[in-house]
């Protein structure tokens, strides 16, 4: 069903296509996950482009089950993952400050060697407290500071080991946010990525 769309995108010049499987881990049984791998591999077969998978964070079990199967996904060079929604709003690159990113270790331990589209901006209503320097509360939103984005990226880089494999993303789409909030979040992501990059120059 999706292969004709992929073919059309590739023929039009697309070199990187993200496939969303937001709820694949809601059925973490081995037979379901193997079915996902089989379906993915059949879907991307024969296409000459980079593929990315986007899967929402499964609150019951975390990303461990996806991490186990990610290395089996053909041509999956990139995982776009949701982390900011469960992270603290404190600055820092230690495990207590970045508790929302602990599941990233599962992918490294499972041998996934691709890149990570790291969710560094919260995309839902925010009701928590924002620590000094970590951003500002704006109605029902948090606008993450560039410094908070930087710290999230640097912490992930410590786990993955290679800053080239880390891409800064919002956790998911920003369609539920206003245009002003979405723009402010993307501006902070951009500046935060620049700050993180300066660490490695």
- Tell me how far the alpha carbon of residue 57 is from its chain's centroid: 9
Q: Kindly report, residue by residue over 157-186, the tens digit of the pLDDT.
A: 999 999 999 999 999 888 889 999 999 999
Going from N- to C-terminal start, the domains of the chain cover 1-81, 83-201
Question: Is the C-alpha dihedral spanning 163, 121, 152, 103 positive or negative?
Answer: negative
Output the pTM of the full model: 0.92
Residue 141, token pair as written in the block:
């939103």
Q: Kindly report, residue by residue over 30-68, the tens digit of the pLDDT.
A: 999 999 999 999 999 999 999 999 998 877 788 999 999
Q: Kindly report, residue by residue over 144-162, the tens digit of the pLDDT.
A: 999 999 999 999 999 999 9
């Amino acid at each position: 069903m999706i292969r004709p769309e992929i073919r059309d995108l590739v023929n039009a010049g697309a070199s990187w296509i993200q496939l969303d499987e937001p709820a694949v881990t809601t059925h973490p049984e081995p037979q379901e996950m193997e079915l996902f791998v089989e379906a993915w591999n059949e879907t991307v077969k024969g296409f000459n482009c980079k593929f990315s998978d986007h899967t929402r964070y499964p609150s019951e079990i975390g990303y461990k089950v996806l991490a186990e199967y990610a290395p089996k996904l053909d041509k999956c060079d990139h995982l776009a993952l949701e982390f900011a929604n469960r992270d603290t709003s404190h600055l820092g690159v230690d495990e207590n400050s970045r508790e929302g990113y602990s599941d990233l270790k599962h992918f490294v331990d499972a041998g996934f060697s691709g890149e990570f589209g790291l969710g560094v901006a919260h995309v839902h209503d925010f009701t928590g407290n924002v620590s000094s320097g970590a951003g500002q509360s704006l109605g029902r939103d948090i606008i993450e500071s560039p410094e908070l984005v930087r710290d999230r990226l640097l912490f992930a880089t410590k786990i993955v080991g290679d800053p080239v494999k880390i891409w800064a993303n919002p956790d998911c789409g920003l369609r539920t946010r206003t245009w002003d909030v979405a723009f402010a979040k993307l501006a902070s992501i951009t500046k935060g990525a620049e700050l993180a990059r300066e660490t490695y120059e």
